Amino acid sequence: MHDISPNHPRYHSLLLRDKMAQAYHEGILADTALIAHGRGEAFDYIIGEKTTPPARKAIKTATAALLLAESPVLSVNGNTAVLAADYVVELASLLKARIEINLFYRTPQRVLKVEEVLKNAGATDVLGKEGDDYLPVEGLEGPRSRAHPQGVHRADVVLVPLEDGDRAEALVSSGKKVITIDLNPLSRTAKKSSITIVDNVVRAIPLLINETKKLKGCSRQDLQGILNEFDNDENISSSLNLISQYFKRDEDS
Ligand code: PTJ
């Protein structure tokens, strides 16, 4: 760990970097996870490192979808586990959702490490472990296509933070509602998902928790009303508009 002064203007961002670098050295993350994190950082900088109004709207809609779901699943990769394991476990418990590990760069060693991170955060029931049963997701090849029969395979709504476009697309094609959290509104994942939250997982998952607590008492009809009002393409365009305003502001100043 580096010694980072809390007075540094980029303190929080540097802390996250340090957490990621350490997790890489511990074998939890693939080396390319750090590159993915850097891409996320760049987009986060541009949106002002705060949750934007379109992201808030997507978070509310995602919560309604998760509350309406019969079999919600939270899919976890290395980056999500390192940055937000505690929040994932709390959200799963509030929603009675299953947690399933799915890694892009899957190795048995990394699956064990991610499982350990989730268990240390309080998870008691983790799917997608080494040796667990799995069925393939149609249209996907390799380890990415693993879907636990009691998890992603039977899920009607799946939260897939920092996902790759192919998996998001294949899950949507298999009839599931796919919610993603991705700081890049231009990514294929963002475009292919049913509900795209353009925000950092470290802010979005705590907000999903708050929203779940708020909406838990709502009727199914009210939750459905929230879903019906939402248009994902329109919401992504609003995020892109905010980004272009950011560059415009810089030009004007
Ligand atoms: O743990 P594994 O093996 O499953 O690997 C996970 C990564 C993320 C390395 C793998 O899925 C990957 O290479 O992802 P991509 O294709 O680089 O996509 C990552 C996306 O997440 C990019 O669009 C980033 O902008 C975005 N991103 C990065 N960090 C964050 C983020 N979005 C939200 N919050 C973040 N903290």
Mean pLDDT, 10 residues at a time, over the chain (253 residues)?
76 90 98 97 94 98 98 98 98 98 97 98 97 95 94 98 94 97 96 98 98 98 98 98 84 57
Q: What integer pLDDT is reported at residue 232 of this predicted model?
A: 98
Ligand 1 atom index nearest CA of 42:
25
How many domains would you assign to the chain? 1
* Enclosing domain of residue 233: 53-243
Q: What integer pLDDT is reported at residue 10 of this predicted model?
A: 79
Kindly give, in sequence order, each residue whose CB lies less than 8 Å from that of residue 253, ignoring residues fewer than 6 positions away. none
> Is 23 contained in some domain?
no
Q: Degrees (nearest 5) of the Cα angle 158, 164, 170?
A: 60
> Is 6 contained in some domain?
no
Q: What integer pLDDT is reported at residue 4 of this predicted model?
A: 76
CATH number at residue 98: 3.40.50.12640
Q: What integer pLDDT is reported at residue 247 of this predicted model?
A: 82
Q: What integer pLDDT is reported at residue 113 of this predicted model?
A: 98
Among 15, 50, 79, residue to substitute to test ligand 1 (most atoms within 8 Å of Cβ): 79
> Is 223 contained in some domain?
yes
pTM, two decimal places: 0.96
Q: Which of 44, 102, 72, 39 is nearest to 208 (CA)?
A: 72
With beta carbons less than 8 A apart as the criterion, state whether 117 and 81 touch: yes
Q: What integer pLDDT is reported at residue 6 of this predicted model?
A: 80
Which protein residues are within 6 Å of ligand 1, measured from CB?
30, 32-33, 36-37, 39-40, 43, 77-79, 83, 103-105, 162, 164, 181-184, 187, 200-201
CA dist., res. 39 & res. 36, Å (int): 5
32-46 and 78-95 helices cross at what angle (nearest 10)? 70
> Is 27 contained in some domain?
no
> Is 8 contained in some domain?
no
